[in-house]
Amino acid sequence: MATPATAQSATQRGKNRRIEVKPIAGMLGAEIDGVDLANLDDETFGEIYAAWLEHLVVFFRDQKLTPEQQITFAKRFGGIHYHPFVKGMEEHPEILEIIKEETDTRAFGEVWHTDQMFNPKPAKATILYAKESPSFGGDTMFTNMYAAYDALSEPMKALVKDIKTWSVGDRKKLSQGDKMGSAEKGRYVGNEKMAAKVQDPGDLVTESAHPLVRTHPETGRKALYLGNHVQTLHGFKSAEAKPLIDYLQAHSVFPEFTCRFRWEVGSMAIWDNRCTQHRALNDYQGQRRRMHRITIAGDAPF
Ligand code: SIN
């Protein structure tokens, strides 16, 4: 997908006229101030888009958007990607409502992953908007997969260069123990509201091969492309693939590559799934958290 011209002009200027961008960590993540996402002109959106490409995940505070306004804003990033396994809201199928009730023990997205990696064209971006947030906990962590790639040794870069991963969606997921079972085996056991939204993906393709080293289609930078959907490496024996996947995943979430966002009602995060992973922290037992998530359709990775 092409970079909007307005984003390019913001980058070329090298200076924002409409927004204030404040990095929250050394490797990725920035808060953007001075914007009302419900009323955006093209120039302001261009600056936001350029800041998003630069910082990988951007955050906004105190936003007041109706579901329709969130959908309108999301469509500026591209077409809507619909989750094959989990139903959207009745009135707004574009929005996936993520809920953890006081009595739930499991949180949606509580492992490091990049959205919809099992899809032949995985999600480009995710836009997450906080409707209810716990008084403590429930933060989301993000990691910079460009940095993870850049930090590999030259021999490791040579090894991973042409490897293809094999990712599998929820229903067909091979056993990973209790943490991530398949949908049939209770993928959302411990979170009844999410379990009730599980749907059959029908004929949709939910297994895919992707390059382990991905070139970002807009920045041209290389990133490791990895997450919990990855089951094995093409052509490798599983005894060979597992330690390599485990090593690269542990390497990818080295604390210095990450940032962590504290949610408040009205906060919004927009992350680039092509060069990040994220993880929802499940550390607020007894409290409710409710989010509105929209994912944006992406391209086939190369
Ligand atoms: C997700 O993985 O998309 C959800 C992240 C979160 O709820 O913090």
In whole angstroms, what is the distance from residue 84 CA to residue 86 CA? 6
**What's the pTM value of the predicted model, to 2 decimals?**
0.90
Which of helix, strand or coil describes residue 67?
Answer: helix
Ligand 1 in contact with 98 (CB < 6 A)? yes
Instruction: From 69, 65, 94, select the one nearest 267 (Cα to Cα).
Output: 65
260 in active site: no
- Look up residue 48 and give its DSSP letter: H
Ligand 1 in contact with 30 (CB < 6 A)? no
In whole angstroms, what is the distance from residue 263 CA to residue 256 CA? 21
CB 78 within 8 A of CB 296: yes
What is the residue with the minimal CA distance to atom 5 of ligand 1? 280
What does each of the 302 residues of the chain score in pLDDT, given as a tens digit? 334 434 444 444 457 889 999 999 999 999 999 899 999 999 999 999 999 999 999 999 999 999 999 999 999 999 999 988 889 999 999 999 999 999 999 999 999 999 999 999 999 999 999 999 999 999 999 999 999 999 999 999 999 999 999 998 865 444 444 344 444 445 677 888 888 888 888 888 888 999 999 999 999 999 999 999 999 999 999 999 999 999 999 999 999 999 999 999 999 999 999 999 999 999 999 999 999 999 999 999 99
Q: Based on the number of CB atoms within 10 Å of its own CB, is 152 exposed (0-12), middle (13-18) or buried (19 or more)?
A: middle
Residues in CB range of 288: below 8 A, 6 or more apart:
99, 100, 101, 102, 132, 134
55 in active site: no
CB 207 within 8 A of CB 168: yes
CB 120 within 8 A of CB 300: yes
292 in active site: no
Q: Tokens 């961008």: give the residue.
A: 21
